[in-house]
Amino acid sequence: MNGLSAALGDLLPAAIGVAISPIPIIATVLMLMSSRARTTAPAFALGWVLGLTAVVVLVLFLAGPDGVDTSGSSTTTSWIRLVLGLLFVLLAANTWRKRPRAGQPAVQPKWMASLDRTTPAVAVGLGALLSGVNPKNLALSVTGAVAIASNDLTGTQEVVSVVVFVLIGSILVVGPVVAFLVAGDRTAAPLGALKAFMEEHNAAIMTVLLAVLGASSLGKGLGGLLG
């Protein structure tokens, strides 16, 4: 179990980073507040889970026995972590540079205005894009997959690690959908509060998160190359 415990510990920061994604969380809440909430929101959540799973499984496949050597002490792993760390730092700097100035309202992407008219099929695709193709989440998913591949795990342990990563990374998208399907309109107030919080603190949340992840990944990458 030591390998599994190490893998779970390594992937946890990346999974939390995926979970704390203000734009997808806001999109989820907007869908839950629309007239098509019971069809589009679950479809969006499904797309989110599928996108995350696809990226992690693909990286694990490429890093298999005949793929890239991602053993914990390999130079390849160190370089991957170093590049990801630099990417996180650049994303953090860009997020902070584009933050709303004092007194300015946060401007959301234009596509959010049409979420109340989104079909389930489009919602699935949107969820997959935001979880698997969005640069920040893509980098985090690769980081999580590298953490899994870098430990000597059995097939079952890899499956468990992937499931844990996807569950944690999906909790703030899937969780509100499940809560709405169970409790209905009683979730309106907490969902509204969650949306308002994410809108107000989007830039600060993402800047701190990306900076911390960048520093961690850079440290591990440099440590592996210099050690």
Tens of pLDDT, residue by residue over 40-99, are: 999 999 999 999 999 999 988 887 654 445 555 567 778 888 888 898 899 889 888 887
- What's the mean pLDDT when you consider all of the chain? 85
Average pLDDT, stretch 32-46? 92
Does residue 110 surpass a pLDDT of 60?
A: yes
pLDDT the model gives residue 67: 46
Please give the distance of CA 192 from its chain centroid, rounded to a whole number. Answer: 22
Q: How far apart are CA 49 and CA 43, in angstroms?
A: 10
pLDDT the model gives residue 205: 84
Tens of pLDDT, residue by residue over 136-175, are: 888 889 888 888 888 778 889 999 999 999 999 999 999 9
Closest CA to 10 of 167, 145, 154, 206: 145
CB distance 207 to 56 below 8 Å = no
Confidence of residue 181 (pLDDT cuts 50, 70, 90): very high
Confidence of residue 39 (pLDDT cuts 50, 70, 90): very high
Q: How far apart are CA 128 and CA 122, in angstroms?
A: 10
Which range is least confidently modeled, 2-16, 24-38, 97-111?
A: 97-111
pLDDT the model gives residue 104: 66
Residue 106 in 3-state DSSP? coil
Average pLDDT, stretch 102-115? 73
Give domain limits for the chain.
2-62+87-226
pLDDT the model gives residue 73: 52
Confidence of residue 213 (pLDDT cuts 50, 70, 90): confident
Q: How many percent of the chain have pLDDT more than 90?
A: 33
Confidence of residue 130 (pLDDT cuts 50, 70, 90): very high
CB distance 16 to 25 below 8 Å = no
Which range is least confidently modeled, 22-26, 119-123, 176-180?
A: 22-26
Q: How far apart are CA 140 and CA 132, in angstroms?
A: 10
Average pLDDT, stretch 4-30? 89
